[in-house]
Chains A and B, each alone.
Chain A
Amino acid sequence: MTSPIRVLVAKPGLDGHDRGAKVIARALRDAGMEVIYTGLRQTPEMIVSAALEEDVQVIGLSILSGAHNAIVPRVIELLREKGMSDVLVVVGGIIPDEDAAQLKQKHGVAAVFQPGASLEEIAEFIRSAARQPV
């Protein structure tokens, strides 16, 4: 039996609107994954260190405030510095198309889920794209 995928759901930045992050966390848990929710106002440093400590295969960032261009590249850079580039990074929230393309192509974000994305689609993507836990 394979062990479940471990996912860190994180809410970076100053924004406190955590409805989406919480719904996703529960949906992924219901889909059989192990989910760690960081709570609010996590800096990129806090997120990456939690990811390391919790030994996750996936980081899900929920950002609705427009601060994604400042935050997401920083998380990815820190992962690289720590030799954790194999951790899958997905982003959900209000991310304009051009920014989503940029985050994927230039920064290596695996997927960006915009409003209206289904919970099933997100869980399915993570299941297919995440590295299997050892």
Chain B
Amino acid sequence: MKPFAAPPAATGRKFETLSGIPVEPWYGPEHVSGLPPLPAPGEFPYTRGIHRTMYQGRLWTMRQFSGFATPEETNQRYLYLLSQGQTGLSVAFDLPTLMGVDADHPSAEGEVGQCGVSVSSLEDMEILFRGIPLKDVTVSMTINSPAPILYAMYLAVAEKQGADWNELSGTLQNDILKEYIAQKEYLYPPRPSMRLAVDVIEFSARQTPRYNPISISGYHIREAGSTAVQELAFTLRDGIEYVDWTLERGLPVDAFAPRLSFFFNAHNHFFEEIAKYRAARRMWAHIMRDRFGASDERSWKLRFHAQTAGCSLSWQQPYNNVIRTAIQALAGVLGGTQSLHTNSLDEAYALPSEHAVTIALRTQQVIAYESGVTAAADPLGGSYYLEWLTGEVERKAREYISRIDAMGGMITAIEQNFPQREIAEASYRYQKEVEQGERVIVGVNRFSSDEEEQIELLEIDQSAAHRQQEKLAALRRRRSQTRMQEALDRLKKAAEGSQNTLPCILDAVKAYATAGEIAGAFRDVFGSWQENSVL
């Protein structure tokens, strides 16, 4: 008889965070003795949240990212979501729109309306927001390289609805840096792209003062396979880059910094995620006050949107995704998010069905109204473990930021493939750990079953592309060709010079130049960009 069987290997129960920070069995006062003091919520550096009363004052905005097929169909989905208690809209565009390609362009074949809604012209945007008063409903738009174009379309629709631009509030993603780093939806080389991003920030500071002209995003960096620490570090370093460039434009820091917003992932390691949000607030407050000399308190406060991790959803046993999403969403809320998207259980397969998206929204509502976690701000603050982990995450993120500073900034780092390579390394390491069973994914590499759970999926009507193309052809016939061409010519001139391009984009949009035509005009001036892919 064997004396003792070896203790069961702790397979899949790895006691380290997703960023690889080892975790002790317990934490006590000695782990937090070296950490900075912890002022109350609403006080600098806002580790515990940007508001003293937090969710007692106001709940987060429940904002489900949504869009598919044609503007007509997506408009119906928006009206439905608003009728179900959703409090803001978030537009998902299809790949052709994200890439500045019109629905009738050959490279759009097979992609129109698949991953989001197809918007090629102002006409599409008018249909998308039909019956939705933009002065009352805040709209977030996930668009980056063509962001100035879609922003101009949104402003033109608001104007037609009779809304005052001063009243508009919402968010434009407009974060081109993370495209080079992670999501890869770029059109032009980094430097002219940065100029366009700053054109939007500058124009918005003057014309739409309640609107967030950028959402500096770690979400996609994380989805591309980064760790939580990398997500935090690269996102804040991107933020520094935008501030540097906007200052160079001549805007005083407090004229635009209060409207910079952020977007983070809510992934699986519950405590590391909460630590990440808390560290993000603390770091940004110091960056804005100490590095940039901002004096307006609002410039110090990091506001963010959170979305649960799409890449954590499994194709196997899809109902498990409801539970994953609930836990991730709870981390976002305990981390003090300002708005939240919860993924639907079917999103490893397709865009969500109405049934699935309703469950996802209900998940937020259960957390908000039933769980009681909204009562006190930063309810986990003061936990030895969480405070220690917040400090660790911050320390490691600072190291990355210093390295990128030493390289000369994020654009240079991107040109040298630094963040891309770090992310690729992390994602490969993670995948190997899953493969070897060191990281358990329930229903995938453990507790799997042969029984297939059938779920009903949203099918995108293949005729959507056809309908978009017909509408676009009719528009091209109907509009004044001369007016459109003149507007595009003025736009090119503006792009060649150094003035803000937004007024010219607005003219072009109102002359019903398409997104593809406007993006094409910029491409003529700026050229296009191909990355040197690293493995």
Contacts and interface: CB of A to CB of B under 8 A. Distances in A.
A66 B435 contact: no
Interface size class of B (residues with CB under 8 A): 35 or more
B95 A15 contact: yes
A40 interface: yes
A94 interface: yes
A127 interface: no
A40 B316 CA distance: 28
Contacts of B27: none
Contacts, number: 100
B428 A66 contact: no
Contact of B316 (A43, A65, A66, A116): A116
B314 interface: yes
A115 B314 contact: yes
A14 B111 contact: yes
A115 to B, nearest CB: 4
Nearest to A12: B110
Contacts of A118: 435, 445
Contacts of A52: none
A67 B349 contact: no
A37 B535 contact: yes
B184 interface: yes
A59 B315 CA distance: 24
A13 interface: yes
Contact of A16 (B96, B183, B225): B183
B79 interface: no
A17 B184 contact: yes
B227 to A, nearest CB: 13
Majority DSSP secondary structure for residues of A touching B: loop
A111 B179 CA distance: 31
Interface in A25-73: 25-27, 29, 35, 37, 39-40, 43, 65-71
B535 A71 contact: no
Nearest to B226: A19
Interface stretch (B101-109, B402-410, B516-524): B101-109
B83 interface: no
A123 to B, nearest CB: 11
Nearest to A9: B535
A119 B185 CA distance: 27
Contacts of B428: 22-23, 26-27
A120 interface: yes
Interface of B: 95-96, 98-99, 101, 107-111, 114-115, 179, 183-186, 223-225, 311, 314-316, 348-350, 424, 427-428, 431-432, 435, 444-445, 457, 460, 530-533, 535
Given A19-B224, A70-B110, 19 more contacts: A13-B95, A14-B99, A14-B101, A16-B183, A16-B184, A17-B223, A22-B535, A23-B428, A23-B431, A26-B535, A39-B530, A39-B533, A65-B95, A65-B111, A66-B460, A67-B109, A67-B111, A71-B110, A116-B314
12 contacts: A14-B99, A15-B95, A16-B185, A22-B427, A26-B424, A40-B531, A43-B107, A65-B95, A65-B115, A66-B115, A94-B349, A120-B435
Interface of A: 13-19, 22-23, 25-27, 29, 35, 37, 39-40, 43, 65-71, 94, 96, 114-116, 118-120
